[in-house]
Amino acid sequence: MATFGNLSDRLAETFKNLRTKGKLSAADVDGTVREIRRALLDADVALEVVKDFTGKVRERALGDEVSKALNPAQQVVQIVNDELITILGGQQRRLEFAKKPPTIIMLAGLQGAGKTTLAGKLAKWLAKDGHTPLLVAADLQRPNAVTQLEVVARQAGVAVYAPEPGNGVGDPVKVARDGVKYALQKVHDVVIVDTAGRLGVDAELMKQAANIRKAIDPDEVLFVIDAMIGQDAVATAKAFQDGVDFTGVVLTKLDGDARGGAALSVASLTGRPIMFASTGEGLDDFEPFHPDRMAGRILDLGDILTLIEQAQGAFDEDEARKVAEKFATDTFTLDDFLGQMQQLRNMGSIKKMMSMLPGAGAMKAQLENFDEREIVRTEAIIQSMTKLERTTPKLLNGSRRLRIAKGSGSSVTEVNQLVQRFEQAAKMMKTVAKGGMPNIPGMGPIPGAGYGGKPKVQQKKKGSKSGNPAKRAAENAALAAGVKPAGETASADAAGSGFGLGSGAQPGKGKAGGPTEEEMAALQKMLGR
């Protein structure tokens, strides 16, 4: 996540220095805590939060849980992760819906924090869960705020109540009250009230917000705060807490390049949980806030759970089952490949998804250089093929590939690369479908992996390895007669004696480490002596 990029880099570098140490001294812990303190202060985290955080980390890092750990460095990372989760709110807090609809949600915050856009995002997110939200335009102060809310509502596919034109005209308290009545009449189960903001905290803003709250008695009051606000975040949050008393926090603009200290300060100092996060400009760039997952992103530990949830929302299970069957029966075509690419694109930004993988911080340069339009170019190449060519890629000779390249605005080389990638993907997935492990290009087969059958065990050729021809002939003859050669017997006995087994001559059988009398007699008989 871009907002925490610098903080993640600083913390990763700090922990990197610990991994070379088998045991941590008090000086090592103090040095680590010092670096963490600097990283948090540079990220604009409030001083009070930083002191409390580093104090707890130091206390736990000097305790028995680290000194007795097999890997002290990993244990320190775990401690920092636990404390980050704590200052981010501990557990996820969900919306509390009214027992008797409609559930009333009031949005409050400064002008420019993104309340109006967030109203549309929240409404669309609720609509996906089967709710019927209504947006109420109670921001009659900012120019064109009402028009913007109407546009956002249309994009989100939800209803809007906007009886006043705004631009300084109308009573916001009356609009909010009438909006709740309108929701009851039209059977909307959620009402989202967009209120006015100011460039800064002032008495008029707080009075208006407090009057709206008294008039509609909301079930949730969400304080919308810009994650790029910096050190002023805490003062602003406390002012709104005293004036309006919000029940939860929504962070916006987490895709920006600011330091992100607001997220680490507000929840801790106000005692109110962060409930949602806005991660982009699109209406789908919105997600519930999970403190544990956010801590994982900050420490570059990944956020696999969110990635899985996004995949489940974008991928069709029935379609995935059909594709799996096609892999198993070797009927996977370029049409199916195209469908998979389109479903992947529906999940959103590829960069954002890859950034949720553990260790993504080490791939920052590659992620920055990744071209999101590559999927669009791939779609264009496949769509330039005929139906027969998509189902039977073996028909793609030179002239056909030239035609496809011209039709898709690409080069023949790009067409060749796409066909090669498709064949590799189909081959790998076919192996997986049959229960084997894929042969990853450039890596070879994975050692120890099965491929649907038992590997053939090559029998070692039995025979003497002696360089003396006479001795070699004697030993080979002895093997043919079922008698172990003297050298082999000696080595076997030596091997046994190494573990305390067979370490001495058996009574009446010969000297230790040598052949028995029966073996010697048989050998002499074979040699004709």
Residues whose CB falls within 8 Å of the CB of residue 205, separated by 6 or more in sequence, listed in order? 196, 197, 198, 243
Distance CA 134, CA 105 (A): 10
Per-residue burial over 180-190, b if 16 or more Cβ lie within 10 Å, else e, is bebbeeeebbb
Give whole-number Cα distances, 163 to 11, 69, 216, in Å. Answer: 51, 65, 17
Query: Which of helix, strand or coil describes residue 195?
Result: strand
Q: 44 and 260 in contact (C-beta within 8 Å)?
A: yes
326 marked as part of a ligand binding site: no
254 marked as part of a ligand binding site: yes
427 marked as part of a ligand binding site: no
Q: Which of 54, 34, 35 is nearest to 46 (CA)?
A: 54
Q: 331 and 430 in contact (C-beta within 8 Å)?
A: no
Tokens found for residue 7: 């903080």
5 marked as part of a ligand binding site: no
- Within a 10 A sphere around the Cβ of 83, how many other Cβ atoms? 19
User: How do strand 286-288 and strand 274-278 relate by DSSP bridges?
Assistant: antiparallel
114 marked as part of a ligand binding site: yes
Distance CA 286, CA 293 (A): 15
Give whole-number Cα distances, 101 to 105, 162, 164, 180, in Å. Answer: 12, 21, 25, 10
197 marked as part of a ligand binding site: yes
231 marked as part of a ligand binding site: no
126 marked as part of a ligand binding site: no
100 marked as part of a ligand binding site: no
Q: 201 and 215 in contact (C-beta within 8 Å)?
A: no
162 marked as part of a ligand binding site: no
Distance CA 366, CA 212 (A): 49
Per-residue burial over 318-327, b if 16 or more Cβ lie within 10 Å, else e, is eeeeebeebb
Q: Which residues pair with 444 in a beta bridge?
A: 440
Q: Which of 237, 251, 338, 275 is nearest to 95 (CA)?
A: 275
- State which H helix or E strand residue 417 sits in: helix 412-433
User: How many residues does the structure list for the chain?
Assistant: 529
195 marked as part of a ligand binding site: yes
Distance CA 287, CA 310 (A): 10
194 marked as part of a ligand binding site: yes
Max Cα distance, the chain (Å):
125
252 marked as part of a ligand binding site: yes
Tokens found for residue 506: 């058996």
Q: 267 and 91 in contact (C-beta within 8 Å)?
A: no
Residue ranges for the known binding site for GTP are 109-116, 194-198, 252-255
Residue ranges for the known binding site are 109-116, 194-198, 252-255
